[in-house]
Amino acid sequence: MSLNRRQFLQSSAGVVGVATVGSLSGCATQAPAVTGKKGRPKVVVVGAGFGGATCARYIKMWEPHIEVTVIEPNDKFVSCPTSNDVLAGYRKMDDITFGYNNLQGIVDSWVKDSMSAIDTEKKVITTAGGKKIPYDRVVLAGGVELLFNTVKGYDAEAQKTVMHAWKAGPQTATLRAQLEAMPDGGVFVMSVPMAPYRCPPGPYERASLVASYFKKAKPKSKIIILDGNQDIASKKGLFLAAWKKHYGHGTPAAMIDYRPNNMPSSVNAKTRVVGTEFDEVKGDVINVVPKMKAAEICGMANVRRGTDGKEGPWCPVDFRTYESKFVPGVHIIGDSTLSNYPKSGSMANNMAKVCAASICEMCNGRDPVEVPVVANTCYSATTDHTAIHVAAVFRYNEKDKNGNKIPGGEMVAQTLPKGGLSTEETEIEHAYMDGWAKNVWADTLAL
């Protein structure tokens, strides 16, 4: 049984989220119905990841009258969540790779291309292939742009052998092959960018799972974590407990050497040396993840700004609609937004539904969502059979527009029982993690 828009707006749920409709007199986002040339509102979604695919699907489910076009350059959807399992050999690339066939059958038009330009005044998108696509509203769901130029030597040539593997796909498979080829007793050097970045616990899960693989296949090997942050950015106590239990953390025989305040400043692909402010670290395999900012397509639309309106790394939005605070008709969802949300697949999926509901309302000349609530659930594996989680709920607060973490945010975290955090790693949570992944893939891609 599918969930209609009214049921969605009147209900609360974990992965689905909750919102209510009410009067927004004087609201800048309130607008009459908009229509395309054939009398149908035209919505273009750029990017078909967790955010874009979910948004496109739910707009069509809740308001079939809206004409939805998706622009996506890739043939397949590859999941970043659970991709660390591939590095450890616990999953194959095929296990996290899915076709877009079902989603393509739902939307009105699927354009296998990338956006090369956007005219936000004339409301026209140009693709790399030269196609002109008009819109009434556009949803930008491009994820993040990796800032390779912030690490000296991390040029195009170095990127051929130094993997970031922070966008799941061919790089994931290549990094796995490098780890397999590494001799027992070798050193794996990996880095963590300064927050905010995509998937806060992801690097620490990566270290855990690679250590799990080393423990079985290369027990003399070591992992050095160069963290640009002052401390472990997510689930600190849980990860440290797992590292101590399984990988000897805190002892001379520790498999994981964690070094905070060690942002990579340079990389030498030939010698496999990563430089920091304090040291030069040599590895047999190096995995450098640079700083990030909102996707390049957000820069094209001039929505990548600070709260003061000047150029910035992320995109300020109205959290009732995810419409840019500076460029009307442009919505941004997922990792590109300026918010106090964790940048995760779960959160992108939740944002997408609130955005879809609001677009459906606005395209029918009604007020958008008034008090949206979104939820995030994030599992992290610590071994091949144990996992931990963190969960949070965020509610829009009109009276407290500064939010609780990032200036300009408008979503306030709600208290969950036990803080929404695991008390310890368990096998049952690993089973829950697998179930969550299957459910969010199915929800996002209409599998």
pLDDT, tens digit (0-9, with 9 covering 90-100), for 296-324: 999 999 999 998 999 999 999 999 999 99
End-to-end CA distance of the chain: 14
* DSSP secondary structure letter of residue 369: B
Q: Say which CATH topology domain 151-290 has.
A: FAD/NAD(P)-binding domain (3.50.50)
pLDDT of residue 397: 76
Shared fold status for 26-146+293-370+431-445 and 151-290:
yes
Tens digit of each residue's pLDDT (9 = 90 or more) over 352-399 = 999 999 999 999 999 987 788 899 999 999 999 999 999 999 888 766
pLDDT at 404 over 90: no
- Interatomic CA distance for residues 69 and 90, integer angstroms: 36
pLDDT at 368: 87
Task: Answer whether residue 142 shows pLDDT above 60.
Answer: yes
Name, in order, each residue with C-beta under 8 angstroms of 326's C-beta and a sequence gap of 6 or more: 302, 303, 305, 309, 316
Report pLDDT for 315: 97
Q: Which residue has the higher pLDDT, 12 or 249?
A: 249
- pLDDT interval class at 33 (50, 70, 90): very low
pLDDT in tens, 175-194: 999 999 999 999 999 999 99
Give me the pLDDT at residue 389, please: 96
Please report, rounded to a whole number, the percentage of residues in the chain having pLDDT higher than 90. 82
pLDDT computed for residue 30 by the predictor: 38
- Do strands 187-192 and 222-227 pair parallel, antiparallel, or not at all (unpaired)? parallel
**pLDDT score recorded for residue 31:** 39
Determine the pLDDT at residue 372.
87
- Cα separation of 367 and 167, whole Å? 36
Name residue 68's beta-bridge partners.
43
Give the dihedral sign, CA 279/280/282/285. positive
- Please name which of 101, 72, 160 lies closest in space to residue 447, comparing C-alpha atoms: 101
Mapped onto helix, strand or coil, the DSSP state of residue 27 is: coil
User: Is the CATH number of domain 26-146+293-370+431-445 3.50.50.60?
Assistant: yes
**Average confidence score pLDDT of the chain:** 90
Residue 37: burial class (beta carbons within 10 Å; 0-12, 13-18, 19+): exposed
Q: What is the pLDDT of residue 5?
A: 56
Average pLDDT of the segment spanning 61-86: 98
Q: One-letter amino acid identity for 101?
A: N
> Which of 80-89, 230-239, 412-421 has the lowest average pLDDT?
412-421
418 pLDDT exceeds 90?
no
The pLDDT tens digits of the residues spanning 202-219 come to 999 999 999 999 999 999
Q: Does the pLDDT of residue 19 top 80, yes or no? A: no
Report pLDDT for 396: 83
Higher per-residue confidence, 141 vs 278? 141
**Average pLDDT in the 251-265 region?**
96
Question: Which band of pLDDT confidence, cut at 50, 70 and 90, is reported for residue 4?
Answer: low
Backbone conformation region of residue 36, classed left if phi is above 0, alpha if psi is from -120 to 50, else beta: beta
Whole-angstrom CA distances from 132 to 52, 105, 140, 302 are: 20, 22, 16, 19
Instruction: State how far the alpha carbon of 338 is from the alpha carbons of 115, 135, 341, in Å.
Output: 22, 24, 8
Tokens of 87: 């590095």
Answer whether residue 416 shows pLDDT above 70. Answer: no
Q: Are 226 and 259 in contact (CB under 8 A)?
A: yes
Rounded Cα distance, 62 and 64, in Å: 6
Q: How many CB atoms lie within 10 A of CB 14?
A: 15
Residue 222's CB: how many other CB atoms inside 10 A? 18
pLDDT of residue 27: 28
Dig out the tokens for 434 from the structure: 């697998």
Q: Report d(CA 293, CA 274) in Å as an integer.
A: 22
The answer on pLDDT for 411 being more than 80 is no
pTM above 0.75, yes or no: yes
Q: Domain residue spans in the chain?
A: 26-146+293-370+431-445, 151-290
Rounded Cα distance between 324 and 299, Å, is 12
DSSP string over 125-173: EEETT--EEE-SEEEE---EEE-GGGSBT-STTGGGTSB---S-SHHHH
- The tens digit of pLDDT for each residue in 330-343 reads 999 999 999 989 99
